[in-house]
């Protein structure tokens, strides 16, 4: 589709919807919107592969709104259901679609766990046309007789791969199976394999397939780096330097405790940071996300599951403080930056022992990586400086105890690298790679898990 053709997609929509889009400054569709919207408007089932930041919310939202406009729903009988994996994503989808729905005279409600039932039940009784929901709470409301799927015309599964990753496949399979046979179904996902493929084969009828967006590994505006440091204390210091040099940053840790500890350490070092993980109440999660999105906090330290709900524009840097579990997780984490054509930087911080393991991970993700040693890395470590420094990373780097990052005569030892001991700061103990034993004086020998 040419640039001259793209406005036609929005011009074929209802006038109220076009005006509402224009009010938000949206006049031309993104590639995924230009591909998906016509098929969605025509009533076809749609299967789309699109990463975060591609405009996929409007890609499925616009056909839903256009289809439902001009009619009213019965109490407790919504006509469209949008199933998402997390509370944060449910809120994000609702914020994106609510102004458009209101302009069309449609009512939306958001349904997820961790909040009282009463408000959600009341909104369903007040003729909600569209329900944006996480699987667990939605299933509960159906089981209790507060919501019925008899009138469902459109079902959307957003981030279907993550729904399956979180173990929601059985619940989603059941929920979609409860919608009327022949109703329209749209599924969007970053990947289209495994349980996602099973959902497609079971519930979609001759879907129109659109695989337009590149994976994070193919985004040319995103640069990838590995920064090798001596030990855990050096990882914290390196993360601090990276955030200070690059602006708005998302830092990934493996554990909830790790997210809490690192956010505290960064804040204590003068970098305002908030944490985001499953142990937080919804109120605190929303407060922390708000502080990050409006610039009050420069960094958010998050676990993988919680980070699925982070939809913030203009993220300058992603730090893998703990390495991702697999290439898919690496790409999804990294995709939080370089969105909508903007530039972004991704840095994985590693100790020498695990460089080869991380290199294999990055090779599996299909990304080109530059290798840096903290002892010779540019200062400050801005994205621009890192892009012009270091050397290409080989998957064999790090073999036999660390590869070329330990080579070179005359380099000073890693700061604080003495058998992994941490003699200063909040963290003490030693790193054995898979387990990170941290001791704080006031907590004795309390254990916390982490990753190199």
Residues 198-226 pLDDT 10s: 999 999 999 999 886 555 445 567 899 99
Number of domains in the chain: 2
Give residue-wise pLDDT tens across range 412-438: 555 544 333 333 333 333 333 333 433
Average pLDDT estimate for 149-165: 93
Last residue of one domain, picked from the residues 211, 240, 262: 211
Say if residue 236 is in the same domain as residue 187: no
Q: Does 228 share its domain with 165?
A: no
pLDDT higher than threshold 90 for residue 246: yes
Same domain, 204 and 220: no
Tell me the pTM: 0.70
Of the residues 211, 235, 267, which one is the last residue of a structural domain? 211
- Indicate if 71 and 156 belong to the same structural domain: yes
What's residue 131's pLDDT? Answer: 98
Percent of the chain with pLDDT over 90: 58
Residues 411, 293, single domain; the answer is yes
Residues 331 and 381 in one domain: yes
pLDDT, tens digit, for every residue of 353-385?
A: 999 999 999 999 889 999 999 999 999 999 999
Higher pLDDT, 406 or 365: 365
Distance CA(408)–CA(351), nearest Å, equals 17
User: With 70 as the cut, is the pLDDT of residue 8 above it?
Assistant: no
Same domain, 354 and 383: yes
166 confidence band (pLDDT: 50, 70, 90): confident
Task: Tell me the CATH number at 199.
Answer: 3.40.50.300
Question: What pLDDT is attached to residue 411?
Answer: 54
Are residues 109 and 252 part of one domain?
Answer: no
Say whether both 167 and 234 belong to one domain: no
Return mean pLDDT, the chain: 83
- On the question of pLDDT at 397 being above 90, the answer is no
What is the span of the domain harbouring residue 343?
216-415
pLDDT value of residue 51: 62
């Amino acid at each position: 589709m040419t640039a001259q053709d793209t406005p036609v997609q929005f011009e074929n929509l209802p006038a109220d919807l076009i005006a509402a889009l224009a009010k938000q400054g949206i006049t031309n569709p993104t590639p995924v919107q230009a591909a998906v919207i016509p098929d969605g408007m025509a009533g076809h089932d749609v299967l789309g592969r699109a990463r975060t930041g591609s405009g996929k919310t409007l890609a499925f939202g616009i056909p839903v709104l256009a289809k439902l406009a001009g009619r009213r729903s019965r109490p407790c009988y919504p006509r469209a259901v949008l199933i998402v994996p997390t509370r944060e994503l449910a809120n994000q989808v609702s914020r994106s679609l609510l102004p458009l729905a209101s302009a069309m005279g449609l009512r939306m409600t958001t349904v997820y766990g961790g909040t009282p039932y009463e408000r959600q039940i009341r909104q369903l009784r007040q003729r909600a046309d569209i329900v944006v929901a996480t699987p667990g709470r939605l299933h509960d409301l159906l089981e209790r007789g507060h919501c019925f799927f008899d009138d469902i015309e459109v079902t959307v599964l957003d981030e279907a791969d993550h729904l399956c990753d979180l173990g929601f496949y059985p619940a989603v399979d059941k929920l979609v199976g409860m919608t009327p046979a022949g109703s329209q179904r749209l599924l969007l996902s970053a990947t289209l394999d495994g349980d996602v493929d099973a959902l497609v084969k079971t519930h979609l009828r001759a879907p129109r397939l659109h695989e337009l967006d590149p994976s994070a590994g193919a985004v040319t505006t995103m640069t990838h780096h590995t920064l090798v440091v001596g030990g855990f204390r050096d990882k914290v210091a390196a993360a601090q330097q990276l955030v200070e040099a690059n602006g708005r940053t998302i830092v990934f840790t493996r554990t909830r405790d790790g997210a809490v500890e690192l956010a505290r350490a960064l804040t204590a070092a003068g970098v305002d940071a908030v944490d985001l993980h499953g142990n937080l109440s919804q109120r605190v999660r929303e407060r922390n996300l708000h502080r990050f999105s409006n610039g009050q906090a420069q960094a958010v330290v998050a676990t993988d599951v919680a980070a699925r709900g982070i939809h913030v524009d203009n993220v300058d840097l992603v730090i893998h403080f703990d390495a991702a579990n697999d290439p898919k997780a690496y790409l999804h984490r990294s995709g939080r930056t370089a969105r909508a054509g903007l530039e972004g930087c991704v840095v994985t911080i590693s100790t020498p022992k695990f460089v080869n393991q991380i290199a294999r991970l990055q090779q599996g993700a299909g990304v080109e990586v530059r290798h840096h040693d903290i002892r010779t890395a540019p200062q400050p470590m801005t994205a621009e400086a890192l892009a012009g420094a270091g050397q290409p990373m080989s998957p064999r780097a790090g073999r036999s105890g660390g590869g070329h990052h330990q080579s070179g005569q005359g380099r000073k030892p890693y700061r604080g690298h003495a058998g992994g001991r941490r003699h200063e700061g909040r963290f003490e103990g030693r790193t054995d790679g898979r387990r990170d034993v941290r001791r704080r004086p006031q907590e004795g020998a309390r254990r916390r898990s982490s990753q190199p």
